[in-house]
Structure 1
Amino acid sequence: MHQDKETPERRRERMRQQELKRNPSGSVHGGGLPDLVGSLGWKGTGILILMMIIGFIVYAVFLR
């Protein structure tokens, strides 16, 4: 895939992978939220947020 035709998402991921190769100690503590959200996509992120909200409601209503 040519660089001029790659999507911004793929370009960011490629740049992130290059940075991890140059600085491997930066990934010792895990990727954190940006890596999680980047790997899930917008649908997966929405589902994750929805599950957190539902979990909070169940906790507040039944475990109070």
Structure 2
Amino acid sequence: MHYNKETPEQKRERLRQEETKRNPTGNLNDAFNRANSGSLMDLVESFGWKGTGILILVFIIGFIIASFFF
């Protein structure tokens, strides 16, 4: 494999998969706990930096609009 040309996201995913292969029950426990509480890191990674910025803007605009009505 060519690890030198990996992006940081690919490296994280590769390391996560290797950990899953080494410790499947620990991964099951992590997945169960993450499903209960949610993971902001997973949300941010899935959106990328542009999507995260848009999400923050939507929250700010929503807060401003809500403050006018309530």
TM-score normalised by the chain length of structure 2 = 0.73
Specify the alignment match of 2:28 in structure 1. Answer: 24
For these two proteins, the number of residue pairs brought into alignment is 62
Provide runs of 4+ in structure 1 moved above 2 Å: 16-19
Specify the alignment match of 2:12 in structure 1. Answer: 12
How big is the shift at 1:4?
A: 1.6
- Please list every run of 5 or more consecutive structure 2 residues that lacks an aligned counterpart in the other structure: none
Equivalence map 1:1-64=2 (5 Å): 2-19=2-19, 21=20, 22=23, 23-28=27-32, 29-30=34-35, 31-62=38-69, 64=70
How big is the shift at 1:57?
A: 0.6
Deviations 1:11-43 (A, max 9, x none): 012223433x23221011325100000111001
Quick one: structure 1 residues 60 and 8, their matched pair in 2 at CA, closer, same or farther if it must change by over 3 Å? same
Distance 2:41 2:62 in 1: 22
Q: Percent identity?
A: 58
- Please list every run of 5 or more consecutive structure 1 residues that lacks an aligned counterpart in the other structure: none
